[in-house]
């Protein structure tokens, strides 16, 4: 299998998987981030809803990623 065929295979697989991932991503987004809420935004971004919600969504996604990484690699991280 050549590099070109691997890239084509990955591209096709990614498109198929993305069709099934959208509902899951939507559920995760609604559960962890939810609708825009100015109480979750930094004080300086309360006048800019797009930036405020974007920063909040990014930080929640990053937090979720760290939590998942710790759960997956927890025993590995605790080894001496």
| Whether the Cβ atoms of residue 60 and residue 31 lie closer than 8 Å to each other | no
Where do the domains of the chain lie? 3-78
Instruction: Give phi and psi for 46, each to the nearest 5.
Output: -70, -25
For residue 61, what are the contacts with CB-CB under 8 A and spacing of at least 6? 32, 33
Give the pLDDT score at 8.
44
Rounded-to-integer distance, Cα 61 and Cα 32, Å: 8
Residue in the block written with tokens 């987004």: 29
**What string of pLDDT tens digits covers the 80 residues of the chain?**
444 444 444 455 555 555 555 777 778 888 888 888 999 888 998 899 999 999 999 999 899 888 888 888 877 777 77
Give the pLDDT score at 65.
87
Give the pLDDT score at 19.
54
Give the pLDDT score at 24.
76
Q: Tell if the pTM clears 0.85, that is, is over it.
A: no
């Amino acid at each position: 299998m050549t590099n070109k065929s691997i890239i084509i295979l990955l591209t096709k697989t990614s498109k198929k998987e993305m069709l099934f991932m959208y509902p899951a991503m939507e559920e995760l987004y609604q559960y962890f981030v939810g609708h825009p809420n100015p109480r979750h935004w930094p004080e300086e971004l309360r006048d800019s809803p797009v930036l405020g919600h974007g920063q909040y969504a990014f930080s929640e996604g990053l937090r979720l990623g760290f939590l998942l990484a710790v759960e997956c690699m927890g025993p590995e991280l605790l080894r001496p």
